[in-house]
């Protein structure tokens, strides 16, 4: 009988060890696919069925080792979305979904927030607009707003667009 309980304890230890290993393997696969924020990684691991204690310890270990870095994620995300024509307002709102308050990284915000550059990108976005709104001005205005440009930038871009006409 004592042998059976020892086997049971060994199996439980192995299953705990396996859960840690499985969580780590899953996390590494997720990170290999693309950069992840710590919040996003935590959510993905929890939704995969791993326990909170295992996930919390694993994400902390990855953050401490520099495998997961919210600052690096933030920089890469900003660059990617700016290249897709997004405005900074939309980018900062989207970062919140990844558990990142962009204002925690003021250097990044300062680096990527330049009124003239933002205005130039908004005007470029206007040139790509192919909407069918009855009121072309309103359609273009809404287009820039949905791209995530601030109201001030949108107004200036619309002034420039009107001057070109």
pLDDT digits (tens, 9 = 90+) for 6-40: 555 545 554 555 888 999 999 999 999 999 999 99
Distance CA 58, CA 20 (A): 8
Delimiting residues of CATH 1.10.10 domain(s) in the chain: 2-68
Distance CA 49, CA 36 (A): 18
pLDDT digits (tens, 9 = 90+) for 76-112: 999 999 888 888 889 999 999 999 998 898 888 778 7
Distance CA 45, CA 63 (A): 15
How many C-beta neighbours within 10 Å does residue 68 have?
Answer: 25
3-state helix, strand, coil in the chain (%, to 5): 80, 0, 20
Global model pTM greater than 0.85: no
Say if CB 115 and CB 154 are below 8 A apart.
no
Distance CA 89, CA 70 (A): 19
Torsion angle of C-alpha atoms 62, 66, 67, 72, degrees rounded to 10: 130
Distance CA 151, CA 117 (A): 15
How many C-beta neighbours within 10 Å does residue 146 have?
Answer: 11
Architecture of domain 2-68: Orthogonal Bundle (1.10)
pLDDT digits (tens, 9 = 90+) for 127-160: 888 888 788 888 999 999 999 998 899 999 999 8
């Amino acid at each position: 009988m004592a042998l059976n309980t020892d086997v049971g304890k060994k199996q439980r230890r192995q299953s705990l060890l396996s859960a840690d290993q499985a969580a780590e393997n899953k996390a590494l696969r997720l990170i290999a696919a693309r950069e992840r924020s710590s919040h996003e990684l935590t959510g993905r691991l929890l939704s995969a069925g791993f326990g909170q204690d295992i996930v919390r310890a694993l994400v902390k270990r990855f953050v401490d080792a520099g495998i997961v870095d919210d600052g690096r994620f933030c920089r890469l995300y900003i660059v990617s979305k700016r290249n897709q024509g997004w405005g900074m307002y939309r980018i900062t709102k989207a970062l919140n979904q990844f558990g990142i308050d962009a204002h925690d990284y003021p250097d990044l915000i300062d680096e990527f927030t330049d009124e003239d550059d933002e205005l130039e990108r908004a005007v470029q976005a206007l040139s790509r607009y192919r909407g069918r709104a009855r009121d072309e001005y309103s359609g273009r205005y809404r287009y820039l707003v949905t791209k995530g440009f601030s109201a001030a930038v949108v107004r200036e871009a619309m002034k420039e667009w009107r001057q070109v006409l």
